[in-house]
Structure 1
Amino acid sequence: MNFIRRGTMAIGGSIGRLLFPPVCPGCQAALTGAGTVCPECWPKLRFIERPFCEVLGLPFAYDLGKGFLSAEAIAEPPPFARLRAAVIYEDLAARLVGALKYSDRTDLVPLMAGWMQRAGAELLADADIVVPVPLHSGRLWRRRFNQSAELARRIAREAGTAYSALALRRVKPTRSQVGLGASQRQENVRGAFKVVDPRRPEIQGRRVLLVDDVYTTGATTASATRALKRAGARDVDVLVFARVAGGTA
């Protein structure tokens, strides 16, 4: 029976590849296999590698020594312990985020989550539970899915780490952060998140890995982190697909 099942799956996969051949998510050029980008688009992604700020994950032009922090992390320390991002938010990376968030391109989740898992390996090794940044119920109904939850679920499953999509709730129907300045973003998400009482045991005393798609000024992740800490989280790390190259945390 297993032999028959494997054969059926192989045939089904072959038909699927014939009807829907893999294409590059950047330019739609044909690919020999799924889960990657074409050679022409690959240089448009700026992956974040060491050396970088140990707190904010900001890349440095040259190695400043172990544990060196960026000026942003020193001037305004974030409430979370560490942030890691797979890529800089520009060019193709920004288009991938937009395609997932606004064009229902959930087929991009394995690709993006895989890069995130690589970037956040040290955070995942320390994490007790993975929690996505939630959408407010009204926006979730309109959008039909939460891109951060899709990424977080995939990452947790691949890493074998506990996952909770419901521990953290967005209780305030905030405006879109797009186009808002840093202070406006902070005010917009102030008090926006809460860990509901029945879910507190999932958070109390545990190291939480908070997952989102993009990190810009850090207002959203800071507000979510504070809510997790108020609920008793031992500490919070943040993992995102992309982060801006600079700016205030």
Structure 2
Amino acid sequence: MSIRQALAPLVDFAFPPRCPSCGEGVMGSDTRWDEGLCGACWGRLQLPGQPSCQSCQIPLASDELTAERICRFCALDAPLHDGIAAATIYGPVSREILLALKHAGRFALAGPMGRFMALRFAAAGLGKLADPLVMPVPLHPTRLWKRGYNQSALLGKAFARQQGWAFTPDALRRIRRTPSLDGLDRQERRDALSGAIRTRDAVTASIAGRDVVLVDDVMTSGATSGACVAALKQAGARRVVIACYARVAPAAEPKPAFIDDDPE
């Protein structure tokens, strides 16, 4: 037994851990998800289920189910990516967890969130990747300086460690600031991000012919991740699969401003 394990009961007694979703104190067997969520919030956490779109993993209603199992968005506009693995469906519980990580500086949440993403990734059935590179959706330098950290990079590091895959936190870069995406439709979001993200020259050669896992915290229309995928495919990536913590269902769009796509 390590010193940390031995002291854990004393630390928990003096400073009871709190559920990142509801804020209630949690102890021992009351916790779920790496001793993070309380049992009640774990029960309300929305997970991707079936039926869902084979391409983007959004839930499908029974009257939307086709032989191809592709949603209307992917059928009308085939995405560049090679699949999405979402750990959760965006809802009240995942919202509070994301807020705690993204805006409250609860860095310790990134570890269990990233590990949970890795577990859900394995369940997504995207096929075996060949020694992939893991990289986060980038922030513009001004946003990174203002916030002090890239939440997608924190998630990506934990995800890659759990999978035993190489992590390249600076493979992608934003070369220009983009406006807020709130209130924009899918095409307007895509236009706003067009050409805004590129691969770094120093790593472009290492991407060619490789599988890539792109890590994002929350995904709505896919404009930001789509710009990343386009840059990676241009650099010669063989496959690009997206791993996100929360997937916003189309019925919930536009996404609430407090979990917006980072305006740059």
Normalised TM-score (structure 1): 0.88
| d(CA) in 2 for partners of 1:93, 1:72 | 24
Compare 150-159 and 121-130 and name the one that shifted more.
121-130
Instruction: Look up the equivalent residue of 1:17 and give its one-letter code.
Output: D
Does residue 175 in structure 1 map to residue 179 in structure 2? yes
Identify the match of residue 126 of structure 1 among 114, 126, 129: 129
Other-structure match for 2:102: 101
Structure 1 residue 64, shift from structure 2 partner? 4.8
| d(CA) in 1 for partners of 2:226, 2:117 | 19
Identify the match of residue 31 of structure 1 among 26, 35, 47: 26
| d(CA) in 2 for partners of 1:8, 1:244 | 41
Structure 1 residue 197, shift from structure 2 partner? 1.4
Instruction: Look up the equivalent residue of 2:38 and give its one-letter code.
Output: C
Structure 1 residue 113, shift from structure 2 partner? 1.8
Relative to structure 1, the CA distance from residue 109 to residue 64 in structure 2 (aligned partners, 3 Å threshold; closer, same or farther) is same
Normalised TM-score (structure 2): 0.83
Instruction: Look up the equivalent residue of 1:215 and give its one-letter code.
Output: M
Other-structure match for 1:115: 116
Structure 1 residue 11, shift from structure 2 partner? 4.2
| d(CA) in 1 for partners of 2:134, 2:174 | 16
Does the aligned pair in 2 maintain the 1:124–1:209 contact within 8 Å? Answer: no
Relative to structure 1, the CA distance from residue 7 to residue 91 in structure 2 (aligned partners, 3 Å threshold; closer, same or farther) is closer
Identify the match of residue 22 of structure 1 among 17, 36, 59: 17
Structure 1 residue 184, shift from structure 2 partner? 3.0
Compare 91-100 and 178-187 and name the one that shifted more.
178-187
Q: Secondary structure at the match of 1:41?
A: helix
Other-structure match for 2:227: 223
Q: How does 1:35-184 map to 2 (within 5 A)?
A: 35-62=35-62, 64=65, 68-121=69-122, 122-123=125-126, 125-126=128-129, 128-184=132-188
Q: Secondary structure at the match of 1:78?
A: coil
| d(CA) in 2 for partners of 1:173, 1:87 | 29
Unaligned runs of 5+ residues in structure 1 are 1-5
Does the aligned pair in 2 maintain the 1:51–1:60 contact within 8 Å? Answer: yes
Instruction: Look up the equivalent residue of 2:21 and give its one-letter code.
Output: G
Relative to structure 1, the CA distance from residue 44 to residue 167 in structure 2 (aligned partners, 3 Å threshold; closer, same or farther) is same
Structure 1 residue 45, shift from structure 2 partner? 1.8
| d(CA) in 1 for partners of 2:169, 2:127 | 17
Other-structure match for 1:3: none
| d(CA) in 2 for partners of 1:186, 1:17 | 47
Provide, for residues 131-188 of structure 1, a one-character-per-residue CA deviation record: whole Å limited to 9, x for no partner: 1101111101111110101111100001101110011111112233334333332222
Instruction: Look up the equivalent residue of 1:27 and give its one-letter code.
Output: C
| d(CA) in 1 for partners of 2:241, 2:226 | 11
Relative to structure 1, the CA distance from residue 175 to residue 65 in structure 2 (aligned partners, 3 Å threshold; closer, same or farther) is closer
Q: Secondary structure at the match of 2:182?
A: coil
| d(CA) in 2 for partners of 1:78, 1:130 | 20
Does the aligned pair in 2 maintain the 1:35–1:110 contact within 8 Å? Answer: no
Does the aligned pair in 1 maintain the 2:12–2:27 contact within 8 Å? Answer: no
| d(CA) in 1 for partners of 2:144, 2:221 | 23
Identify the match of residue 211 of structure 1 among 211, 215, 232: 215
Identify the match of residue 195 of structure 2 among 188, 191, 197: 191
| d(CA) in 1 for partners of 2:98, 2:71 | 26
Identify the match of residue 8 of structure 1 among 3, 16, 35: 3
Root mean square deviation of aligned Cα: 2.3
Question: Percent identity of the aligned residues?
Answer: 36
Relative to structure 1, the CA distance from residue 118 to residue 157 in structure 2 (aligned partners, 3 Å threshold; closer, same or farther) is same
Instruction: Look up the equivalent residue of 1:97 and give its one-letter code.
Output: L
Relative to structure 1, the CA distance from residue 51 to residue 143 in structure 2 (aligned partners, 3 Å threshold; closer, same or farther) is same
Compare 152-161 and 122-131 and name the one that shifted more.
122-131
